[in-house]
Amino acid sequence: MSRHKEDPSAVRDAKRQAWLMRTAEALGMPPDAALALLRQKRVQSLRLNPLRGDVHKAAEYLQKIGWLGEPYPWAQDTYALKVPVAEIRDSEFVASGQVFIQNAASWLPVLALQPQPGERILDVCAAPGGKASHIAALTDNQAELWINDNSRTRLVKMRANLDRLGVTAARTILYDATQLARRLAGEQFDKILLDAPCSGEGLMHYDRDKDFETWSVAHIKRLSKLQKRILTQAWQLLKPGGTLVYSTCTMAPEENEVVVDYLLRHHPEAQIEPLNIGLPNTTQAVLEWSGKVLQPAIRGCLRLHPSSTIEAFFVCALRKNDDKSTATVASARQNRYDSGYYDDV
């Protein structure tokens, strides 16, 4: 007896509806309001690269030929695009590394990291290199930048990208991020960027069928487990007093607040540094999901809902306290556990 095959369009529509309802719950709004956000058209953006010439002259010329829209006031040398990406993708400005086409939300993790010259910085999941190149630009290539990815193919392409953008990295490495602490045993970093592999909901569009081919709640749960493993590995490589920024381009709480909550529960020396960038599409962090209460400190994370100019995104800056401050934080957390405030996640 042959098994009944499900109608692909019906499966897709069921996924679409599930995504809508989950998004509405995560953003704390009615489904019709969430639907309007998920159907928005988005403006593409770019970053001018100071490692490849005078950004002011480049901006003047690009404005003159009608490419640049309004600047993003919260990120230096960044602009909305007034023309389709296809018109500039193969231009001399992109080929020479003067311009890097990048989603606006992708600048946020680097800004939260606040990279400084002289610091030792690790980018854990770096391909295709946009955030690493941003770190290099902000530090004028004066940071000791380590760049990792687990795919040889992506790594080769990323090296070409970084060369084009004028980035000088101390070391480019090819390691499985779930084994990173063992692979880099003995190494410690002042700053670590973990832009984690995720379900990419921030780039999805409600009416685009192909976006639902791989999306599922089961996939989100698998990614959450992977993200917890990678974050735990990266945390071991952070110096006391250092900062780790965790980010994703998804809205699923399992991949965002739940992952950060996991780290806080297992590492009392971890403390969230609140991010107050003041973006118009900022929304409250999720403090309860699937019947589980998360730690109140989670409200210091930055969660963005979709908008026409900035994609949905999640960013959390985590500081590793020293032994003395760790004891204070651990005591405060234990008091909350003893009071029954937290459910287990």
Q: Just list the catalytic residues.
A: 249
Domain assignment present for residue 96? The answer is no
End-to-end CA distance of the chain: 43
* Helix (H) or strand (E) run with residue 179 in it: none
User: What integer pLDDT is reported at residue 278 of this predicted model?
Assistant: 86
Range of the domain at 199: 103-338
Structural domain includes residue 70: no
pLDDT classification of 194: cutoffs 50, 70, 90 = very high
Q: Is residue 69 part of a domain?
A: no
Give the tens place of pLDDT for each residue, 7-33.
889 999 999 999 999 999 999 999 999
| DSSP strand pairing (189-195 vs 120-123) | parallel
Task: Look up residue 310 and give its two tokens.
Answer: 């900035």
**What pLDDT is stored for residue 100 in this prediction?**
96
At residue 170, the pLDDT reads 81
Q: Is 50 exceeded by the pLDDT of residue 210?
A: yes
What is the distance between the alpha carbons of residues 15 and 200, in angstroms, rounded to a whole number?
15
For the segment 323-334, what is each residue's pLDDT rounded down to a tens digit?
655 544 444 444
In a domain, 209, yes or no: yes
Is the N-terminal amide bond of 253 cis, ω within 30° of 0? no
In a domain, 43, yes or no: no
Query: Residue 140 half-sphere exposure, CB side, CA atoms within 13 Å?
Result: 4
- Determine the length of the chain: 345
pLDDT score recorded for residue 56: 95
Within a domain: 71: no
What pLDDT was estimated at residue 86?
Answer: 87
pLDDT at position 341: 32
Q: Beta partners for 248?
A: 314
**CATH code at position 238:** 3.40.50.150
Residue 331: what pLDDT?
45
Q: What is the pLDDT of residues 139-193, one digit of tens each?
A: 999 999 999 999 999 999 999 999 999 999 889 999 999 999 999 999 999 999 9
Res 3: pLDDT: 59
Contact between 295 and 282 under an 8 Å Cβ cutoff? The reply is no
pLDDT of residue 8: 85
Average pLDDT of the segment spanning 248-269: 98
In a domain, 85, yes or no: no
Among residues of the chain, what percentage have pLDDT more than 70? 92
Mean pLDDT, the chain, integer = 92
Residue 41 lies in a domain: no
pLDDT of residue 323: 62
* Band of pLDDT at residue 321, cut at 50, 70 and 90: very high
pLDDT digits (tens, 9 = 90+) for 77-136: 999 999 999 888 889 999 999 999 999 999 999 999 999 999 999 999 999 999 999 999
Query: 190, 143, 141, 148: which is closest to 163 by C-alpha?
Result: 141
- Note the Cα 267 to chain centre separation in Å: 21
pTM (2 d.p.): 0.92
Type and span of the H or E element at 191: strand 189-195
* Confidence band, pLDDT 50/70/90 cuts, at residue 4: low
Q: How many domains does the chain have?
A: 1
